[in-house]
Chain A
Amino acid sequence: MNALVNLLGRSVYAGPALAGFGALFFIGLVITVAGFDPIAALSALLSQSLGSVNGISEVLVRTIPLTLTGLGITVAFRARMFNVGGDGQIIFGAIAFVGCGLLFPTLTGWLLLPLAVIAGILGGAVWGGIAGILRARYNASEIIVTIMLTYVAFQGLAWAIRGPLQESSGIFPRSEAIPEAIKLGLLLDGSRLHWGLFIALGATVAVTLALRYTSFGYRLDAIGESPLAARYGGIGDRATVILSLAVSGGLAGLAGAVEIAGVHGRLHDAFAEGTGITAIAVALLARLNPIFVPLSAAMFAVLSVGVGGLQRQLGIPFPLVHIIEGIVILAFLVATRLQRDAVEG
């Protein structure tokens, strides 16, 4: 172990490089053990996701919610708050967005779209903020609370689209379509790629600047590193904790609103399946640096889109995607740990 650490100590990049190769090795192993050819799998994955205009546009579509939610996870992580309930916040934000849109269908688009988007952000912020309040006041683990709230949100969505928000025909469990005025237009005809891409990129810039140059960003880092020093320095740790989870939820809520506005056009079951969990891997791969989140999100989007091709062409089951996410998280852990040892030793 010591010899390995000494070797890695020569370069700060050795740790991540080793972890990266290790990850690829284990992913290949998992594929091979199941009787598939990893090279064929890789080429199928790449051709499905990047081999056509359609594929690339699908990747970008998938990148949008992953970026927004990933940014949210990053903000919370900076304060060492683990927001595992991104999915619930996405759902709540989407419900708030659709609800607002359906409530005021006669308002003009210039007014209604921002209003509904703000409703979506607030919806997610509330859902995340609850966890923040419970953590700040009662020291309730935000990991458990956010996950529990996700299950509650799933049930809430299921009820809403079969109940008060259900479309008038009453046949399918889904909401009425949102007014045209608040739909996000397509960037590329014939694909699903929509204007939400710019919202995601804009949010990336905004979060990057906020974390580095605002006092809010500094407070997050301070709380994350040493809550005691932050307290002594006069930084209200309770307020910061609540805000970190509220902002995190708000970004996820925005992701939910954008998904409905750009892709689905209405609420239905399972429209953002697994984004919240994948976003954790996205944030970690981006090393908790918001400027890298879109790139990291794109990589996972490639994975997500490509795995569909794996299933279709080679019969490799879809849950491989989760195995890969898990391996990526582990690789991140190992890499940072080795790096830290190399620096300290």
Chain B
Amino acid sequence: MLDQVFFVGLLASAFRFAAPLMFAALGETVAQRAGVLNVGLEGIMLVGAFLAVLGAWWTGSPWGGLLLAMLGGAAMAGLHAFLSITLRADQIISGIAMIVLGLGISGYGFRLTLGAMSPAPTIPAFAPLKLWGLAKLPIVGPILFGQHLLVYLALIIAVALHVFLYRTRWGLDLRAVGEMPAAADAAGISVQAARYSSVIFGGAMAAMGGAYLSTAQLSGFVENMVSGRGFIAIACVVFGRWSPIGAVAAALFFGAAEAAQVRLQTLNPDIPYQFFVMMPYLLAVIFLIFLARRSRMPAALGVPFMPPR
């Protein structure tokens, strides 16, 4: 029954599913705009998901978990930044190391702590907001006013990043660093500082995405729960043409696809559900095909910069 209830539920879910992608894609957009490629988002998101659960349990509040997650993400990204920027090592291989490390650290840490407890502890989680009863409004209610606080936070960050990139001096300097670091360096900008801060910001954001998964969308950590979202987030950056608003739009698209996929399963019980589960992944591939030519990536992306001195 593709009626109003269906679509309203779909769109509301779209935001919910899109949130982890939004965080990760926004962070990666900034990092890539500065010229550094971080393919290790999957690993950082996993670490964020785990640390959020751990921190929430420790402090009794999901905000404690969020903070711990962000610190962990920043730390991992800091390592990637050190390898990519100071050591000027291959950014892709460093990112792959982050994926593997994140998988290991999250699994290892989980099994040593919460996973070893029985019965499994309850984790304080974020609850969806019900903004002044507006959530009860028909149609727009659940979609716009019934989301988790973190979803609104992601949207606010998106707007803030848009302003930052295009309407501030720091944003201008950052864009120059990603396009032609030699010019930025000759103009007196510290390419290193810009890149380090962008990458670390990106890591903290990716970890926030993971934290959302384990303390808002679901309540608890399951090993490997990120399931490829870290890579889809990178596709969102490309699809969004390296702009914050574009990244959010792309993430929403995927969120809608994931929400649709779940619903389509129940609507079409004769088609094996596995084909629906495949949909978001195939969609990511299709994204890359159709949007690769037209977009312009930051010219210095992935290329280490060495000041001539």
Q: Residues of A with Cβ closer than 8 Å to B? A: 30, 34, 82, 84, 134, 138-141, 143-145, 147-149, 151-152, 155-156, 158-159, 162-163, 277, 280-281, 284, 317-327, 329-330, 332-334, 336-337
Contacts and interface: CB of A to CB of B under 8 A. Distances in A.
B89 A334 contact: yes
Contacts of B186: none
Tell me what chain A mostly uses at the interface: helix, strand, loop, or mixed: helix
A144 B274 contact: no
A321 B104 contact: yes
Nearest to A335: B89
25 contacts: A30-B108, A34-B108, A140-B285, A144-B288, A147-B231, A149-B281, A151-B278, A152-B278, A155-B278, A156-B274, A277-B100, A277-B103, A280-B100, A317-B112, A318-B111, A319-B223, A323-B105, A329-B93, A329-B96, A330-B83, A330-B94, A330-B97, A332-B93, A333-B89, A337-B88
A143 B104 contact: no
Contacts of B281: 148-149, 151-152
Given A138-B292, A156-B278, A330-B94, A319 B103 contact: yes
Contacts of B89: 333-334, 336-337
Contacts, number: 133
B104 A333 contact: no
A98 to B, nearest CB: 17
A84 to B, nearest CB: 7
A145 B98 CA distance: 19
B236 to A, nearest CB: 11
B274 A159 contact: yes
B107 interface: yes
A87 to B, nearest CB: 12
Contacts of B234: 141, 144
B288 A145 contact: yes
A224 to B, nearest CB: 12
B285 A149 contact: yes
Interface of B: 39, 83, 87-90, 92-94, 96-108, 111-112, 115, 223, 227-228, 231-232, 234-235, 238, 272, 274-275, 277-278, 281-282, 284-285, 288-290, 292-293
B100 A138 contact: no
B210 to A, nearest CB: 16
B39 A143 contact: yes
Contacts of A152: 278, 281-282
A331 to B, nearest CB: 9
A326 B100 contact: yes
Contacts of B101: 322-323, 326-327, 330
A114 B278 CA distance: 32
A144 B94 contact: no
A82 B234 CA distance: 15
Given A138-B293, A148-B231, A326 B104 contact: yes
Given A148-B228, A333-B90, A155 B107 contact: no
A34 B111 CA distance: 11
A281 B100 contact: yes
A46 to B, nearest CB: 20
B64 to A, nearest CB: 21
Given A284-B93, A323-B108, 14 more contacts: A84-B96, A144-B285, A152-B278, A155-B278, A156-B274, A319-B107, A319-B111, A320-B108, A326-B98, A326-B100, A330-B97, A332-B93, A333-B97, A334-B83
Contacts of B107: 317-319, 322
Contacts of A281: 100
